[in-house]
Structures are given as structure tokens and as C-alpha cells.
Amino acid sequence: MSESITNKQVRLAARPVGLPKQSDWKFTSATVPDLKEGEVLIKSLYLSLDPAMRGWMNEGRSYIRPVAIDEVMRAGGIGKVVASRSPRFAVGDHVAGTLGVQEYWSGPADDREVALHKIDPAAVPLPKYLNALGMPGMTAYFGLLEIGMPRAGETVVVSGAAGAVGQTVGQVAKHKGCRVVGIAGGKEKCDFVVNELGFDACIDYKNESVREGLKKHCPKGVDIYFDNVGGEILDDVLAKLAMKARIVICGAISQYNNTTPVRGPANYMSLLVNRARMEGMVVFDYADRYHVAVAEMSQWMKEGSFRSREDIVQGLEKFPEALLMLFEGKNFGKLVLQVAAE
Amino acid sequence: MSESITNKQVRLAARPVGLPKQSDWKFTSATVPDLKEGEVLIKSLYLSLDPAMRGWMNEGRSYIRPVAIDEVMRAGGIGKVVASRSPRFAVGDHVAGTLGVQEYWSGPADDREVALHKIDPAAVPLPKYLNALGMPGMTAYFGLLEIGMPRAGETVVVSGAAGAVGQTVGQVAKHKGCRVVGIAGGKEKCDFVVNELGFDACIDYKNESVREGLKKHCPKGVDIYFDNVGGEILDDVLAKLAMKARIVICGAISQYNNTTPVRGPANYMSLLVNRARMEGMVVFDYADRYHVAVAEMSQWMKEGSFRSREDIVQGLEKFPEALLMLFEGKNFGKLVLQVAAE
């Protein structure tokens, strides 16, 4: 390339205590380097904002290495190839991969951590590739089917029901013949998952007792709980388990910004009484079968029996405040940061 | 029967708050009624004292109905048939069943809750039928094998290692080719499980850091944790799980007498990081296969590759104080109350 391109980037400046503050981030600019053989340059269009990001900002052993201080913040994204010295990608291709919170990503086309792969912009709107057809959708699909193991007629409860993972959990469960009860914050979100996504019921945890809601909507108890939130709601569901219930531990957004110790589930002995199971999952373990999930959910989308909703915030500079929306429950649907026009 | 027999009984007088007090019990006497057709009269010899008893004293839904106020306290026991109007049992037979905390049990020979069955007094000493060949042994055997699913070479950790369940968990795991690390209170108990039972190591939680002990003795992490205690030790083990670990939730003796809320496992998100599972079990679910466990463990006993230790307290009147030994960790081996001479 002859002209130099400036790449605005968001880097982790400090490990946050509690909710990430503006000062935990650093905005920098760099010039995009010339491509070497085998490399590509991607212009980011949409970035995925996820609760898991909060975990990546902490030190310590986890399922993925922490983002280092001064490193560009990790984020999944959708972009367009603007230069290529790799036979795998041509200029104009749309791709998904771990692009980071920045305007451009460049590097080896086969970088394993980034996992670039082509997507079809004609099949569904691009942001859906960060939602049902992206990481949250894969998490929901494999977490529910492989760990939850739903059978037709069982009752599935999912927290964060209007969120990226919750939307898909509930709809996959409906497709498998389950009764589905969501838990979400506010009437608008509850109406959405019932009326738009076809859940059987939704408990508005901000305005009603979750315990009472579970009693009302899960008369035979909870066979599967897909937990995105942890905290008090996990305890409420533990108290309503059916025999041989399965709890899928996917996240614990209520606990991610704690400055006090995590609240462990005090009702965990319900696992004994009900011969029930609580099991954790990490989506990357299913990477070799993502295509199966994408194919099935794409088909449902075409048939009109599967929907998803995104909440799109504009502008890379909005990243710090947009991320906080997740922890305040302010996003309505999968939260996406648009960093450039398509 | 012509002469009347007096039956001393221990009844639940009040639901305890915290540790059961002497005043939570009531000692009564009753005359043994004449037997009806199909009934038997059993003279109790040994009664089983178990941590689970504390749970039976509470109100509320659990895996078994609570003992009612004024009801004879539930207990498993070993006895001798002293009168019979049932073809199933002859005078002189030795039996095991849920005899209750009393000197005599009488009723229908086929009472399902009592589950009377003959045992062979010549095969092993009678108290062993309340230990490895009784409920604790069945709990250990099926909990470890069916929920823990050990594979040779894996590391198994068991708390309450010198207790009734722990002894058997560790020895079954050794027979299956696992590395076994116990957790017990005091040097004497630790020496016992290592030197007498053949565990690979034992952490003395009263005198050393469990975290440090796990680090030292489980260099590859914990594949299976058989939890009898809950509380802080459960959190310590959660922090040391290996990938795909299984936690068998069998009990939580550290929490049974709480007057404050149960301490939930704050480190439960380790289940996610390690794709691990925590699952509850209740021994009664395996009743139709007890004979398999009894056969296998009896064989090991004959071969000299399986041992068990009982701690025998004398006298029905000692029941209230003997029960407390469990919660103070004062028993050394399976706690048994002898109520009559063999």
C-alpha cells in the first residue's frame, strides 16, 4: 500500500476495580504496517460487546489469557478485507474474527487466536454474525444442547433472556419442544421474548419476585436452567429444581464487577436433594461444530421461525460507556459497536 | 408373646436451632405390642449415627420426609429377630433396616420405609453392616463410581476422609487405580487413612492450609472431589480443579448446624473455566444395585485389600451426645451406637 492508514485503538490502561472506568482505557493511534506475505488487512465494521470482556480484563488463570496492560482490548468483530497478501482472502471479502477494539486489524490470515473466516453478507444482516450466528449463538446452542440436554416437554429457564445468549437459548429450546421461561429486566424485554421470540413466559426480575414467578410459570419445577447471571437469581432457581435438573453455567454477570467476594449459590444443596447437576461450559470447545449450529439456525431464520435482535451503538470512541450498558442491563438485544459504515 | 417388653425410645422433642441440644430430645418408654400376622419384633443391637440425621430433623422438602415432632428419631440399625409372625424372618435371624433410635422395632416385615433384610453375622463383624456394607458404603461406592466416574490415573480428593463415607470412597478409588488424597482433621486420622487404608496423602485441615496441601499433593489438579463437608474446603478444592473435573455433592457437614445462611461455594465459576461439573446424589436411587457393591467390597475385605474402622459408643441414653461427636469431628471412623450386647 502506498498511502499510510491510521488505526485508532482502545487499549487496556489499568485493571479495573469494580465497574471499568474511563481511566481504565487508553485511546491510541498507530499507522497500519505494510503487509507481509500471507497477511491481510481488515477494516472493522462491527465489534461485539460481551459480558465476558470483563473477565478478560482481570489477571489470573481463566479459560483464556487475560488482556495485558497496554494491549488492544480483545473483541470479536465483523470486517471487510481492504488489502490481502493471502490466497485465503480477497479484497472485498467480509470476515468475522477476533479483531480487537480498533479500526483495523492486520496480521497473518491464519492467526489462530483471531480465527478469521469468511461470512456471507447476503445471507443475513452483518450484525447477526455477532449474535445468533456468532459467539453468543454458539454458546447458547452448544451450552443448551450439549450440557443442558433438553428433552421435549421439559421446562427450560434462561436468565438474561433478552440478551444475546438468552434469545438463542430460548428459541433453540422451543425448537426442541420445551416449555421456555425467560428472566429479564423490565416489561419491554419480557414482552419482546414472549411476543417476538415465542417464549412461553417471562419473569421481570426488576418488578416481580423471581421465586413467585418460577412457582407460577414452572409448576413442575425447572429441568434446565441456563444461567447467565449468577447471584440471587441462581439461588432462586436452585430452590425450584425438578429431579435430575441440569444447570448450565455460562456466565455470572451480576458478579463480574464485585469488589466484595463473589456470592456463591447458598442453595447448592438442592443439587443433592434433586440429584441435579451444575456444569460449566466454554464455547471454544465446540469450534469444530460451529458450522452445524450455523446451518441449523440459518435455516430457521429463513423459515421465519428464529429471530434475533441487536442493539447497535455507533462509534469506536463510545466503547467504554457502551460496555457499561451490559452491566446495567441497558442494552436491549445483542450489544454491537458499529465502528465504520458497511 | 406372654410377657410384656418395655421399649425405650428417643423421640424428637423440638426442631433444633443450630446444634441439637439435650432438650431437643425426649426419652420415652412404651410396651411392645403383640405381633399381628406378618409382623416381626427386632431387638436393636447397633444403630447408625450419621450427619444426614441433622437434615432429617428440619422441616421442609428434602430427599426424605422430615422426622415429625414426637416421632421416634429415624436411624438405620442392625438387630436380631426375637419374635416373628412372618415367613420372611425366623427368630435368631440378624437383620439390617431403619430401626429407629429405640431398643425394639416391631411392625410388618415388608415395611418399605424400614427395608428389613437379612445379614450374615459370620461374614463380617456386625457393625460393618452399618459402615462399608451399609448406607455410608453404598453412598461412597455409587457416588464415586456413578457420579464421579473415576478413570485410572486420575486424582480423587475426599473430605471427611476418616469418616464412614470417606474411608470407602478412598479405598474404592484406589481399587480403580486412582491417586487418592484425603482431607481429615488431625494427625491421627490422617495417619490412619494413609497407613491403614492406603491413601496416597492426607491433608490435616486442622493444622495445615488445605490450599497448600492440594497444591502439593495434586500437582495435576483435582479430577474428582467427593464432598462431604461443604464450606471453605469446597471453595479450596474448586480453586484446584482439573479440566472436566467432577464434584460429587454428598454432604455439607460444615453447614448443617448453621444459624446463619449456608455458605455457598464462591468459587463455583471454576466450573466454567474448567468445564467441570458438580452433581448431587442420594444413595436410595441405587438400592436395586446395593448387592453389587456389597459383593465387590466383601470380596476385597476377604482378600485383605479393604478395611474399615468403626467408633462404637455404648448405650441408647448416649444418643444425644454421641450425635454431636459427628459435628465436632470427634468420632474416628464410622460412628455406631451399641444399644444391646450381641
Which pLDDT tens digit goes with each residue over B22-56? 999 999 999 999 999 999 999 999 999 999 999 99
Alpha helices in A252-342 (DSSP H): 270-273, 290-303, 319-327
Q: What is the pLDDT of residues A28-75, one digit of tens each?
A: 999 999 999 999 999 999 999 999 999 999 998 888 999 999 999 999
The mean per-residue pLDDT over the stretch A201-227 comes to 98
Q: What confidence category does residue A337 fall into, taking pLDDT thresholds of 50, 70 and 90? A: very high
Cα–Cα distance between B93 and B95 in angstroms, integer? Answer: 6
Cα–Cα distance between A7 and A316 in angstroms, integer? Answer: 11
Q: Which of residues 59-118 of B touch A (CB under 8 A)?
A: 61-63
Cα–Cα distance between A130 and A115 in angstroms, integer? Answer: 14
CB-based contact B158:B180 (threshold 8 Å):
yes
pLDDT of A16 reads 96
pLDDT of A60 reads 86
All domains in chain B, ordered by first residue: 6-131+308-338 (3.90.180.10), 135-284 (3.40.50.720)
For chains A and B, count residue pairs whose Cβ atoms are closer than 8 Å.
Answer: 103
pLDDT of B333 reads 94
Cα–Cα distance between A330 and A285 in angstroms, integer? Answer: 30
User: Does position B282 have pLDDT exceeding 90, yes or no?
Assistant: yes
Interface contact A265, partner B, CB < 8 A: yes
Share of residues in chain A with pLDDT > 90 (%): 94
Which pTM value belongs to this model?
A: 0.93
Interface contact A272, partner B, CB < 8 A: yes
Interface contact A267, partner B, CB < 8 A: yes
Q: What confidence category does residue B300 fall into, taking pLDDT thresholds of 50, 70 and 90? A: very high
Among A254, A325, A263, A257, smallest CA distance to A16 is for: A257
CB-based contact A102:A28 (threshold 8 Å):
no
A262 closest CB neighbour out of B269, B273, B275 = B269
Among B13, B60, B2, B24, smallest CA distance to B323 is for: B24
Residue B147's region, left for phi above 0, alpha for psi from -120 to 50, else beta, is alpha
Q: Which residues contact B278 (CB under 8 A, 6 or more apart)?
A: A268, A271, A277, A278, A279, B246, B247, B249, B265, B268, B271
- Residues A129, A132, A134: CA angle, nearest 5 degrees: 45
Alpha helices in B157-204 (DSSP H): 164-175, 187-191
Q: What is the pLDDT of residues A98-116, one digit of tens each?
A: 999 999 999 999 999 999 9
Interface contact A249, partner B, CB < 8 A: yes
Give the mean pLDDT of chain A: 96
List the single best residue of B226, B270, B279, B285 to mutate versus A (max A Cβ within 10 A). Answer: B279
Residues in a beta bridge with A246: A224, A277
Site of grid cell 429457564: A157
Q: Which residues contact B25 (CB under 8 A, 6 or more apart)?
A: B10, B11, B12, B13, B73, B319, B320
Q: Which range (A69-73, B116-120, B260-264) has the least confidence?
A: B260-264
The mean per-residue pLDDT over the stretch A199-225 comes to 98
User: Does position A82 have pLDDT exceeding 90, yes or no?
Assistant: yes
Cα–Cα distance between A44 and B39 in angstroms, integer? Answer: 81
User: Does position B1 have pLDDT exceeding 70, yes or no?
Assistant: no
ipTM of the complex: 0.92
Cα–Cα distance between B186 and B205 in angstroms, integer? Answer: 7
pLDDT of A259 reads 87
Strands A39-48 and A334-338: antiparallel
CB-based contact B253:B228 (threshold 8 Å):
yes
Q: At B80, give phi and psi (nearest 5°).
A: -125, 135
The mean per-residue pLDDT over the stretch A7-13 comes to 98
Q: Which triple of cell numbers denotes residue A6?
A: 491510521
Residues in a beta bridge with A337: A47, A313
Q: Which residues contact B209 (CB under 8 A, 6 or more apart)?
A: none
CB-based contact B178:B157 (threshold 8 Å):
no
Share of residues in chain B with pLDDT > 70 (%): 99
Share of residues in chain A with pLDDT > 70 (%): 99
- The DSSP result for B84-135, as a single string, is E-STT--TT-EEEE---SBSEEEEETT-TTT--EEE-TTTS-GGGGGTTTSH
User: Does position B2 have pLDDT exceeding 70, yes or no?
Assistant: no
Q: Which range (A212-216, A243-247, A276-280, B113-117) has the least confidence?
A: B113-117
Cα–Cα distance between A43 and A89 in angstroms, integer? Answer: 13
Interface contact A278, partner B, CB < 8 A: yes
pLDDT of B62 reads 86
Q: Which residues of A touch B279 (CB under 8 A)?
A: 271, 275-278
Q: What is the pLDDT of residues A118-170, one digit of tens each?
A: 999 998 999 999 999 999 999 999 999 999 999 999 999 999 999 999 999 99
Q: Which residues of A touch B276 (CB under 8 A)?
A: 279-280
pLDDT of B61 reads 84
Q: What confidence category does residue A269 fall into, taking pLDDT thresholds of 50, 70 and 90? A: very high
- The Cβ of residue B152 has, within 10 Å, a number of other Cβ atoms equal to 8
pLDDT of A3 reads 72
List the single best residue of B256, B269, B281 to mutate versus A (max A Cβ within 10 A). Answer: B269
Q: Which residues of A touch B252 (CB under 8 A)?
A: 269
Asked if the Cβ–Cβ distance from A275 to B282 is below 8 Å, we say: yes
pLDDT of A261 reads 85
Cα–Cα distance between A146 and B313 in angstroms, integer? Answer: 49
List the single best residue of A149, A246, A249, A270 to mutate versus B (max B Cβ within 10 A). Answer: A249
Start-to-end Cα distance in chain A: 22
Interface contact B272, partner A, CB < 8 A: yes
Listed in order, strand segments (DSSP E) in chain B are 6-12, 25-31, 39-48, 77-84, 94-97, 104-108, 117-119, 155-159, 179-184, 201-204, 222-227, 241-249, 277-280, 310-314, 334-338
- A93 or A260, which is more confident: A93
B266 closest CB neighbour out of A250, A264, A280 = A264
Q: What is the pLDDT of residues B201-224, one digit of tens each?
A: 999 999 999 999 999 999 999 999
CA distance readout (Å), A8 to A14, A28, A33, B110: 19, 6, 13, 79
Q: What is the pLDDT of residues B69-99, one digit of tens each?
A: 999 999 999 999 999 999 999 999 999 999 9
